[in-house]
Amino acid sequence: MSKSMIPVRVASVRDVAPKIREFRFTAVDQALPAFSAGSHVMVEMQGAEKTYRNAYSLMSDPADISSYGIAVRLQDESRGGSVFMHTQVQEGDVLNIAPPANLFAPHWAAKKHILIAGGVGITPFMSYLPEMKRRNADFELHYLYRSAQTGAYRQQLSEALGEKYFSYDSDHGQQCIVHQLLAQLSPGAHVYICGPESLIEAVKTEAATLGIPAGIIHYEEFAAPKPGKAFTVSLASSGQQIAVDGESSMLEALEEAGVEVANMCRGGVCGQCVTGVKEGIPEHRDDFLSAAEKASGQCVMPCVSRAVTDSLTLDL
């Protein structure tokens, strides 16, 4: 894993909303790779007791790779990563990141793009917008936020986008009526959502009610692994036993024990970490495996999933 990481220097840190902090990264010894709109990077943070790894959308213009931008929301129930970024990381620090990958690219053949951002979910769209302008793509941005906590960049977005920009500040009682938004969808339009699970679910449910095909609804949610009960992982090859405490994910426990598992999004989406299960029953929490694969119990995604049984024997 470490071989494929890119060191970056924190060139600037600034608050862009009450609970959102923006970081600019520049190259240390190798140029930053170009990236496409909607890409994310995994950022590695060396904490005092453990290493945190979180995926963040790149929010800078893909045409400018002199630096990368990410924005981090201080999570109310942080598992350590966002607190670390907010309290420990300072200008001049060096962090390691994985090269950009994209699980949320715009569907460029769409006639129109409806972007729906919730809070810090504005970040992937910050990389979409300059690219859409360059390609003369037709789009609308609907930005839902709570000004007491989030709502980063709304002034600049409002000025830059004009009548393509719609904002909804729920701290001032402004609601986005998803039904109205989707009912007016023009033929050939695609919808993109980035935000909390509740927003994604609301749009998906409303789309289903209106008979909108699921294929034109795209969403990205990096759900942090949720805690659960503690269990033990056994490695089939060596018999090694690794304890997974209630707060850590299986992937994190494996990594702490020095076991390398390929991974990318760390949020149950990309499928890189799929691992075979020899014994025990997994508790699937991912958005990647099919229902049949989950039911078979023969594989698990250790980035978010856990165990129903007290122990799980992995094919590692």
Residues near another protein (CB under 8 A) are 4, 33-39, 62, 98-103, 105, 107-109, 215, 264, 270-272, 288
- Nearer CB in complex with another protein: 34/94: 34
Q: How far is the CB of 37 from another protein (least distance, A)?
A: 8
CB distance 144 to 118 below 8 Å: yes
Burial 275-293 (b: 16+ CB within 10 A, else e): bebeebebbbbbbbbeeeb
**What gap in Å lies between CA 226 and CA 216, rounded to an integer?**
29
CB atoms within 10 A of CB 77: 8
- Residue closer to another protein by CB (options 109, 291) is 109
Cβ(289)–Cβ(276) below 8 Å: no
- By beta-carbon proximity to another protein, the closer residue of 73 and 190 is 190
The nearest distance, CB 251 to another protein, in angstroms, is 16
Q: How far is the CB of 34 from another protein (least distance, A)?
A: 3
Nearer Cβ to another protein (116/274): 274
CB closer to another protein out of 215 and 258: 215
Least distance from another protein to the Cβ atom of residue 205, Å: 20
Minimum distance of another protein from residue 274's CB (angstroms): 8
Cβ distance to another protein smaller for residue 152 or 189:
189
Euclidean distance between CA atoms 39 and 90, whole angstroms: 24
Q: C-alpha distances in angstroms, 165 versus 43, 141, 142, 143, 233?
A: 30, 5, 6, 8, 49
Close Cβ partners of 194 (under 8 Å, ≥ 6 residues apart)? 57, 104, 116, 117, 118, 121, 122, 123, 124, 125, 219, 220, 221
What's phi and psi for 42, nearest 5 deg? -95, 125
Q: How far is CA 105 from CA 48, 73, 108, in A?
A: 35, 22, 8
Nearest CB to another protein, comparing residues 196 and 271: 271
CB 78 within 8 A of CB 47: no
How many whole angstroms separate alpha carbon 53 and alpha carbon 261?
Answer: 13
Quick one: 87 or 108, whose CB is closer to another protein?
108
